[in-house]
A = this chain, B = another copy of it.
Amino acid sequence: MNFSKDTKILIIGLGVIGGSYAAGLSRKGYNVSAITKEQKDIDYALERNMIRYGTTVNEEKLIKSSELIIFALYPTVFIEWIKENQHLFGKGTLITDVTGVKTGVVEEIQSILREDVEYISAHPMAGREQSGIEFSNPDVFIGANYIVTPTEKNTCEAIAVCKKLGEILGFARIEELTPKSHDEMIAFLSQLTHCIAVCLMNCNSTQGLEKFTGDSFRDLTRIAKINDKMWSELFLMNKGALLDSMDSFIAEFSSFRNMLENGEREAMREKMRNSTARRSLFDRPSKK
């Protein structure tokens, strides 16, 4: 596949991420169509020139003619959709996705997929608390990270197209990981943080606390506004790696708690100096 502005791109699912992909690709002049459940989301996208064509039906002609299909719905729906619709794909179609967990997705889809099409999985590491196309915004990708998770079933050509997609959308870092490494990484960097935010928000129900809050509490709980359906699904799909991350965090936190109880000032200060030094590595590249 030669990826160019004429390439026929089809996005399945105009939610917050699918919508952001559509807007980001269209504003660069790419040829984007979409299939999504609700006509109102298609109307929204058409009015804003996010897509050239949209439909609520799995139209054979549209799917067959699409060269790059980007799947932007829930992972469980993804597998079903492939089973039900893959007979409609044209030969050589490239399929990618935005799925946040790769275990139970990449291998499964690659194992059921027609031999004459290819699926290369990717994860755009930029999200929003809200769901729905009205919250989509292609600027969230600018400067963010984009992970491609190839397997031995993938061709170099497909990996290159998938990376090109990340470049067009403006991601700052485009990296490759195995699906397993991706899931371990995501368990720590993304899922654990969401667990912490939810629990921090839920562990104190004192009335009126919001009158006194500062920005640190707001920052730590921003993602406590969470799409419960999607995140519970992602957590359960990645249970093993997420439990490992949660247990590491509990061990570290309990140890710090005990330092406080025992008045171990120097040990606490050492932990703080460590965290200060390590956090510097995680600054956004643009701020360096």
Chain A residues in the interface with B (C-beta under 8 A): 125-127, 144-145, 147, 173, 175, 177, 185-186, 188-190, 192-206, 209-229, 231-232, 235-236, 239, 242-243, 245-254, 256-257, 260-261, 263, 265, 268-276, 278-284
Measured CA separation A252–B198 after assembly (Å): 9
Query: Do residues B220 and A239 form an inter-chain contact, with CB atoms below 8 A?
Result: no
Q: A147 to chain B: which residues have CB within 8 Å?
A: 212
A145 CB to nearest B CB, Å: 6
Query: Do residues A228 and B276 form an inter-chain contact, with CB atoms below 8 A?
Result: yes
Known: A217-B189, A246-B253, A284-B218. A232 touches B272 (CB 8 A): yes
Query: Do residues B263 and A226 form an inter-chain contact, with CB atoms below 8 A?
Result: no
Measured CA separation A127–B218 after assembly (Å): 13
Known: A189-B213, A217-B193. A245 touches B282 (CB 8 A): no
Query: Do residues A216 and B228 form an inter-chain contact, with CB atoms below 8 A?
Result: no
Query: Which residue of B227, B257, B275 contacts A197 across the interface (Cβ within 8 Å)?
Result: B275
28 of the cross-chain contacts (CB-CB < 8 Å) are A145-B211, A145-B213, A188-B206, A195-B257, A196-B220, A197-B220, A198-B271, A199-B256, A200-B252, A201-B278, A201-B279, A202-B271, A203-B249, A203-B251, A203-B253, A204-B245, A205-B278, A217-B282, A218-B282, A219-B220, A219-B222, A225-B275, A226-B272, A228-B273, A228-B276, A231-B272, A242-B260, A246-B253
Main secondary structure of the interface of A (DSSP, over half): helix
Q: A225 to chain B: which residues have CB within 8 Å?
A: 275-276, 279-280
Query: Do residues A203 and B278 form an inter-chain contact, with CB atoms below 8 A?
Result: no
Known: A224-B275, A249-B200, A253-B199. A236 touches B263 (CB 8 A): yes
Measured CA separation A276–B235 after assembly (Å): 17
Query: Which residue of B200, B206, B252, B279 contacts A203 across the interface (Cβ within 8 Å)?
Result: B252
Q: A280 to chain B: which residues have CB within 8 Å?
A: 225
Query: Do residues B242 and A214 form an inter-chain contact, with CB atoms below 8 A?
Result: no
Quick one: which of A186, A219, A251, A279 has the most chain B CB within 10 A?
Answer: A279
A263 CB to nearest B CB, Å: 6
A147 CB to nearest B CB, Å: 6
A253 CB to nearest B CB, Å: 4
